[in-house]
């Protein structure tokens, strides 16, 4: 299928005098066309190595890579297509732009070698430069641009030819925070409009959550979990994934019974609460539950008691604009809660908090092991 990338049982090791490092440990994944798949993980997890293998910049030890209906690398079949024959666009951390050319010349180059009509080149280059906020820079030399601007030229050059598959290795890392936020939204919109499949590498969790259709979280050369941004952030049962993506409160708990399908009643520092849980947890099973700080809600003093409500004391408080970041002491434990900033709070206040059973989850004991 055009635009689909398929990787099967990919293995890549790096050997030095001191050790052999397995960068990719039999990785298998596929990307449906016209979607953005992000490879997310800490430094050294294998995400950039995987991207470089797909691009043809690294040779795996074994496995197979296909783009669309074409096998582009297979040791068993003796196939190894160079990058320029794989039908992909690439944007990597190094700018790789031509310093002797103007911004227009750099961006237009992929279209010129395809003999695109001049008027179409001008229209498409203008459109893409506006997207990356470089409109008006057409006649500047690349060497006269800042590092962030040069990275945006590289991004524009990769997008202007509208490839069916485009590979990104942290393309926004050199932009300042505000510009990075606006550019990632524009980038997602543009990729969607052009129906381009993309594989996007980042270690930035917020970037991954906002730009992706699917996220594959990597650790130690393997994919440990894959799902939509909502599934990865809100419904993961993998402790590494939960801890890596965003902030979370972890509490030890014991299963006391069942609270309906896929829910368990557990005893923890917050009291007896109902939470989402993997199937098959027996009474007495020791588990770890987690909650996200933004999942807590304050309960007015006059309200009747609710399921999953507890009381605690504010032990520290930070004002973070749209929210208070409050540390709450309860039952010998402390939890972090993000509470609406218009609610008056101060250190030492007693508070009633509630968390919906769907946003309190028990980790799978097998995953923890």
Q: Domain holding 349: CATH number?
A: 2.40.50.140
Residue 217 has pLDDT above 60, yes or no: yes
Residue-wise pLDDT for 101-110, tens only, equals 999 999 999 8
Q: Are residues 229 and 259 in the same domain?
A: no
Domain boundary at 221, 242, 263, which? 242
Last residue of a domain, one of 199, 227, 242: 242
What's the full length of the chain, in residues?
A: 369
Q: What is the pTM of this model?
A: 0.86
231 plus 254 within the same structural domain? no
What is the strand order of the sheet 333-340 is part of?
A: 296-298, 350-355, 309-319, 323-330, 333-340
Specify the number of domains making up the chain.
2
Predicted confidence at residue 135, as pLDDT, reads 93
Residues 273, 324, single domain; the answer is yes
- 45 and 191 assigned to the same domain: yes
Residue 369 has pLDDT above 70, yes or no: no
* 156 and 69 within one domain: yes
CATH number at residue 206: 3.40.50.300
Q: What is the pLDDT of residue 361?
A: 94
Q: What's the pLDDT score for residue 281?
A: 87
Q: Is the pLDDT of residue 14 over 80?
A: yes
Which range has the top average pLDDT, 1-10, 83-92, 267-276, 359-368? 267-276
Q: What is the pLDDT of residue 103?
A: 95
Q: Do residues 160 and 133 touch, judged by C-beta distance below 8 A? A: no
User: Residue 368's pLDDT band (boundaries 50, 70, 90)?
Assistant: low
pLDDT for position 352: 94
pLDDT interval class at 25 (50, 70, 90): very high
345 and 196 in one domain?
no
Mean pLDDT of the chain: 90
Q: 271 and 234: one domain?
A: no
**pLDDT of residue 278 exceeding 90:** no
Poorest-confidence range of 54-58, 78-82, 139-143? 139-143
Q: In the predicted model, is pLDDT for residue 219 greater than 60?
A: yes
User: Are 109 and 177 contained in the same domain?
Assistant: yes
Domain that holds residue 276: 247-299+306-368
- Asked whether residue 92 carries a pLDDT value surpassing 60, the answer given is yes
Same structural domain, 330 and 221: no
Pick the last residue of a domain from 223, 242, 261. Answer: 242
Q: Determine contact, residues 39/200, Cβ cutoff 8 Å.
A: yes
Query: Is 71 in the same domain as 113?
Result: yes
What whole-number percentage of the chain has pLDDT above 90? 62
Predicted local distance difference test score (pLDDT) of residue 211: 94
Same domain, 170 and 316: no
**Same domain (yes/no): 97, 130:** yes
Check residue 174 and give its pLDDT. 73
């Amino acid at each position: 299928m055009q635009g689909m990338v398929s990787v099967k049982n990919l293995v890549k090791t790096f050997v030095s005098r001191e050790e052999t490092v397995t960068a990719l440990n039999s990785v298998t994944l596929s990307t449906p066309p016209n979607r953005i798949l992000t490879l997310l993980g800490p430094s050294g997890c294998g995400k950039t190595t995987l991207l470089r293998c797909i691009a043809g910049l690294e040779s795996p030890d074994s496995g197979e890579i296909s783009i669309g209906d074409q096998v582009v690398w297979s040791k068993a079949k003796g196939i190894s297509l160079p990058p320029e024959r794989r039908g992909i666009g690439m944007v990597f951390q190094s700018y790789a732009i031509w310093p002797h050319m103007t911004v227009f010349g750099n961006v237009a180059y992929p279209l010129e070698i395809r003999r695109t009509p001049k008027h179409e080149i001008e229209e498409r280059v203008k459109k893409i430069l506006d997207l990356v906020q470089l409109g008006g820079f057409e006649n500047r030399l690349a060497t006269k641009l800042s590092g962030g601007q040069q990275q945006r030229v590289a991004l524009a050059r990769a997008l202007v030819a509208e490839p069916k598959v485009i590979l990104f290795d942290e393309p926004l890392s050199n932009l300042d925070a505000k510009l990075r936020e606006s550019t990632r939204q524009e980038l997602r919109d543009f990729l969607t409009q052009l129906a381009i499949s993309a594989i996007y590498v980042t270690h930035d969790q917020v970037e991954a959550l906002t730009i992706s259709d699917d996220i594959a979280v990597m650790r130690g050369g393997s994919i440990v979990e894959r799902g939509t941004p909502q599934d990865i952030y809100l419904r993961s049962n993998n402790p590494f994934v939960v801890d890596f993506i965003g902030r979370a409160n972890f509490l030890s708990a014991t299963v006391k019974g069942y609270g309906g399908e896929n829910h368990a009643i557990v005893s923890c520092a917050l009291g007896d609460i109902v939470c989402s849980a993997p199937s098959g947890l027996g009474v007495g099973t020791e588990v770890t539950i987690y909650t996200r700080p933004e999942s807590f809600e304050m309960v007015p003093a006059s309200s009747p008691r609710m399921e999953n409500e507890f009381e605690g004391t504010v032990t520290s408080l930070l004002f973070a604009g749209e929210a208070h970041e409050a540390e709450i002491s309860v039952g010998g434990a402390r939890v972090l809660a993000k509470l609406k900033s218009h609610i008056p709070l101060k250190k030492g206040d007693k508070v009633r908090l509630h968390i919906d059973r769907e946003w309190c989850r028990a980790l799978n004991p097998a995953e923890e092991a």
